[in-house]
């Protein structure tokens, strides 16, 4: 399973993001998430549990990022993007709002052109400071995988109370200023291509009108076995009505 053992990792080069630094706000030796997605690249929560998880503070993240950015500057390595992703859900770190401020300040100082992105499951938007912090980054990439609570129970396996309607209500407060990320897959209990579910998901997209929709499918090893991915052609056909209506939809195979 893919786990990150540092606060700051990279830079790694990708065609999509260019030279990219990653930030892990979660335990370096385990996983911490309030979902337990059947496709999670970090594995099941039970296998990543640490008894006393140590979460980096804003000061820890600031020191680690400043050091890496200084090093990159000295070496002449450009940084095009800084992305919060890692061993779980970044907004569970209680210092998340302060960390965003710190990271944006260092970005402005060392690499003002770099875009700051956060990958989040959108469950903590009910906290006003988390919502405001996510609104400040360049790319808040927020997840809705299934349009119903039953679907989310099958795919995301939330650890507490989860209501798609509540998350949609919170996402409306972005006025479209976010990227909606959705995993397309087929499991014994859930099929993203099911007509009724797909229609309901598209209605959520129409309601929220995100500035971009990012659909993707399985890539690496998954904790649940027997999951099926979709081809780019299949996914493109699934989202065609949205594209025809003028939505920007990125399909990643």
Interaction site with ligand SF4 (CB under 6 A)? 33, 35-37, 40, 42, 88-89, 121
**Contact between 62 and 106 (Cβ < 8 Å):** yes
**Contact between 182 and 214 (Cβ < 8 Å):** yes
Residue 225: exposure state from Cβ atoms within 10 A (0-12, 13-18, ≥19): exposed
Minimum separation from the CB atom of position 66 to ligand SF4 (A): 26
Minimum separation from the CB atom of position 245 to ligand SF4 (A): 28
Q: For ligand SF4, which is the closer residue by CB, 20 or 121?
A: 121
> What secondary structure, in 3-state letters, does the chain show?
CCCCCCCEEEEEEECCCEEEEEECCCCCCCCECCCCCCCCCCCCHHHCCCCCCCCCCHHHHHHHHHHHHHHHHHHCCCCCEEEECCCECHHHCCCHHHHHHHHHHHHHHHCCCCEEEEEECCCCCCCHHHHHHHHHCCEEEEECCCCCHHHHHHHCCCCCCCCHHHHHHHHHCCCCCCEEEEECCECCCCECCCHHHHHHHHHHHHHHCCCEEEEECCCCCCCCCCCECCCHHHHHHHCHHHHHCCCCEEEEC
Minimum separation from the CB atom of position 24 to ligand SF4 (A): 11
Q: For ligand SF4, which is the closer residue by CB, 111 or 125?
A: 125
Q: For ligand SF4, which is the closer residue by CB, 38 or 58?
A: 38
Minimum separation from the CB atom of position 153 to ligand SF4 (A): 13
Q: For ligand SF4, which is the closer residue by CB, 33 or 185?
A: 33
Q: For ligand SF4, which is the closer residue by CB, 124 or 249?
A: 124
Q: For ligand SF4, which is the closer residue by CB, 102 or 181?
A: 181
Q: For ligand SF4, which is the closer residue by CB, 18 or 53?
A: 53
76: phi then psi, degrees, rounded to nearest 5? 75, 25
């Amino acid at each position: 399973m893919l786990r990150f053992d540092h606060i700051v990792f990279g830079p790694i080069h990708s065609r999509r993001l260019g030279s990219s630094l990653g930030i892990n706000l979660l335990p370096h030796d385990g996983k911490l998430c309030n979902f337990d997605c059947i496709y999670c690249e970090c594995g099941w929560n039970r296998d990543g549990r640490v008894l006393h998880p140590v979460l980096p503070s804003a000061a820890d993240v600031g020191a680690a990022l400043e050091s890496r950015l200084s090093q990159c500057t000295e070496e002449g390595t450009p940084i095009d993007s800084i992305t919060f992703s890692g061993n779980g859900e970044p907004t569970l770190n209680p210092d998340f709002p302060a960390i965003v401020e710190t990271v944006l300040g260092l970005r402005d100082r060392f690499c003002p052109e770099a875009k700051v992105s956060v990958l989040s499951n959108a469950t903590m938007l009910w906290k006003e400071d988390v919502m405001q912090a996510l609104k400040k980054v360049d790319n808040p990439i927020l997840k809705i995988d299934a349009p119903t609570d039953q679907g989310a129970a099958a795919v995301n396996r939330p650890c507490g109370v989860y209501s798609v309607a509540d998350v949609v209500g919170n996402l409306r407060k972005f006025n479209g200023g976010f990227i909606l990320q959705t995993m397309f897959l087929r499991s014994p209990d859930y099929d993203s291509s099911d007509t009724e579910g797909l229609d309901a998901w598209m209605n959520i997209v129409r309601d929220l009108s995100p500035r971009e929709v990012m659909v993707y499918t399985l890539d690496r090893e998954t904790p649940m076995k027997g999951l099926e991915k979709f081809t780019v052609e299949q996914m493109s056909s699934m989202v065609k009505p949205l594209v025809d209506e003028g939505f920007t939809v990125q399909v990643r195979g």
